[in-house]
Chains A and B, each alone.
Chain A
Amino acid sequence: MNAPDPAEIVARMRLRELDHVAVAPLAVYLADAKRHQLRRHRKRNWIRLTSRTSLAAVVIAGALVVGVALPGLRVTPAATPTSAVTPRIGADPLDVVQVLVGSVDGSVYRVGKGVVDVLPVCPGRAIATLRSAPDGRRAFVVCGARSNQAPTASILDLRTGHADLLPMSVIAVPAAAAWSPDGGSVAVATQVCAGTELCSTSVVLYVPASATQRTLLPAPGSIREVRWTALGLSVYVVGPPTTGTYVLEADRWRFVTARRLVVADAAERALLDEPSLGSLPGGHRVWERRGQIETLLTDPEREDAYALALVESGGAIVYRVAGVGSIATYELGGRFTERQAEFCASAERHGDWLLCIPPGRDHIAAYAISSGEIYTIPIGAGVQLAPLAISLIPR
């Protein structure tokens, strides 16, 4: 028998990384395709809708023409509080947080109680990263690439809507940046490419007050994410030589786990996931880490979960792709309770609330952890939210 070709093994291994790409549920694509098909049948060829992005652009352009939403202005999509399924009095997430979300056409929406602010940051380009500063007055935004435009990073002043472009080659991934806990600096994953083949990544620490930046220690691999959690500043890197999460110590990157760190709490518990093996439609297996011990929470046979949040009593909340799709609370030992919900690949938690974006939709889903109830917070007709661009500002 022939020995396997090493190049073939490399190809298979590297292509498995495509399983990281988070895609929307089939229903989203089918609905768009059916709409497109209907348009063809009606022979309304005055405009060609080729993508969900352009559909959103057209709808929003229409809104602009009729003066519904002018850039930077405050709009009220509904005169009443924004929850379609209105939470009980005192049980509205917008009582305790404002939610920042990004759209596929480049606007940042600040959603508060009964009001939505629209801040156009990168027209025509998707918001790839959105991270609000701890003071809630600024946000770090990455505008995704478009044909001949590289991704760009900026600091958005949430009071004025003014965005300051930063001089760095940022990587356009959802966790491309993280604010320091004191808000004095922001760590950004950057990339420099020589020619078209070799790229090197590094973490740049940007200080808004002085508009200065410095590059941190070389990372131990190709950086995919930057997070600043209770464990400190961490990067998730893809080898060679090693794939996993490293935390920055004084003079080195310390290896923590071979898995991806999603979130960590003050008790030094962490939620981890692992790249898919590529045999199933989407998602990962999810672990809880306490001290040095990592315990698998989700089904060992299935890679169908997206890690969302830790729960205090132990275990975690995940989104399960399997079946109809559900938000599930797992306990250590693998027992779980679940509730049917829209696709949620990423969420931000504040107190009892878990807020997440159904990619491509025009609303946020709010999940009350204690009661298991799910609410819908509309943003505005025609808005299409970018996947994973969400950040919370506590009131």
Chain B
Amino acid sequence: MEDRLDACYTKVLRALTGVAGSLDRAEDAFQEALVELLEGGPHTRVERLEGWLYVVGVRRLRRRRWRERLETPISDAASRTSMPDVTRVAAAEFLRLLSAREREIVVARYYLDLSYREIAEFFGISIGTASSTVSRALDRIRRAVGTEAAS
């Protein structure tokens, strides 16, 4: 199992960094995915371990986002600005163009190279939903690129 993990963990961790916007948060989520894996996750049945780990990590990130939303006072949230982090890379800035859901699926599609069928299977959605989410994200990118070019 460690060989399979070794072959894919950097990619998964970096993908989660893109979604989380920081390596620190991504590491927390990845560690929780690893714990789940060690406790008998379905890794032996999964052809693409990176897909499974990524989606478990993404769920942890969602849970954390939700928790933080509940814990953050409204006034604080209103004054919040964008926050570069230790591991801020240009990709993270680019991904902020997208909604959280679009970000998760675009990273799965274009960074982890998962097929629509695999995305649908791991995220528990239909292939049509996966494909339309990516289309919507590409529309936003198209508009943003157009804006950048014009400015």
Contact = CB atoms under 8 A, between A and B. Distances in A.
Interface in A10-66: 10-12, 14-23, 26, 29-30, 32-34, 36-37, 40, 50-53
B104 to A, nearest CB: 13
Interface of B: 2, 5-7, 9-11, 13-15, 17-18, 22-24, 27-28, 30-32, 34-35, 37-39, 68, 72, 76-77, 80-91, 93-97, 106-107, 110-111, 137-139, 141-142, 144-145, 148
B83 A151 contact: yes
A121 to B, nearest CB: 14
Contacts of A370: none
A222 B141 CA distance: 18
Contact of A144 (B7, B14, B24, B68): B24
A29 B89 contact: no
A358 to B, nearest CB: 15
Contacts of B91: 14-18
B22 A145 contact: yes
Contacts, number: 164
B2 A26 contact: yes
Given A20-B89, A51-B24, A51-B31, A150 B18 contact: no
A342 to B, nearest CB: 16
A6 B149 CA distance: 13
A21 B87 contact: yes
A51 B28 contact: yes
Interface stretch (A68-76, A193-201, A259-267, A292-300): A193-201
Interface residues of A, number: 59
A240 B35 CA distance: 40
A256 B89 CA distance: 22
A63 B78 CA distance: 38
6 contacts: A6-B145, A16-B91, A26-B2, A126-B24, A281-B7, A386-B86
A150 B84 contact: yes
Interface string A234-263: 000010100000000000000000000000
A7 B142 contact: yes
A306 B45 CA distance: 35
A128 interface: yes
Given A7-B142, A26-B5, A172-B88, A281 B97 contact: no
Given A30-B2, A52-B27, A281-B11, A238 B90 contact: yes
A330 B95 CA distance: 37
A21 B148 contact: no
A18 B89 contact: yes
A26 B30 CA distance: 11
Interface centre among B11, B18, B37, B107 (most CB of A within 10 A): B11
Contact of A150 (B83, B138, B145): B83
Given A33-B34, A172-B85, A21 B17 contact: yes
B2 A23 contact: no
Contacts of B28: 50-51, 53
A160 interface: no
A123 to B, nearest CB: 15
B14 A19 contact: yes
Give the top 8 A-B pairs by smallest Cβ distance, nearest first: A33-B34, A144-B86, A17-B91, A14-B94, A7-B138, A193-B82, A51-B28, A145-B83
A104 B145 CA distance: 36
Contact of B107 (A15, A32, A151, A224): A15
A171 B87 CA distance: 10
A6 B86 contact: no
Contacts of B88: 171-173
Contact of A23 (B7, B14, B81, B89): B14
Interface string A72-89: 000000000000000000
A172 B88 CA distance: 7
A19 B55 CA distance: 19
B84 A172 contact: yes
A37 B38 contact: yes
Contact of B82 (A22, A33, A199, A281): A199
A151 B91 CA distance: 19
A174 B23 CA distance: 13
Interface centre among A33, A40, A53, A222 (most CB of B within 10 A): A33
A8 interface: yes
Contacts of A15: 18, 91, 94-95, 106-107, 110-111
Given A5-B138, A40-B35, A170-B84, 5 more contacts: A7-B145, A18-B91, A29-B9, A36-B35, A145-B84
Interface in A184-209: 191, 193, 196-197, 199
A101 B64 CA distance: 30
Interface in A147-165: 147-151
B32 A23 contact: no
B76 A23 contact: no
Given A21-B17, A26-B6, A37-B39, A10 B85 contact: no
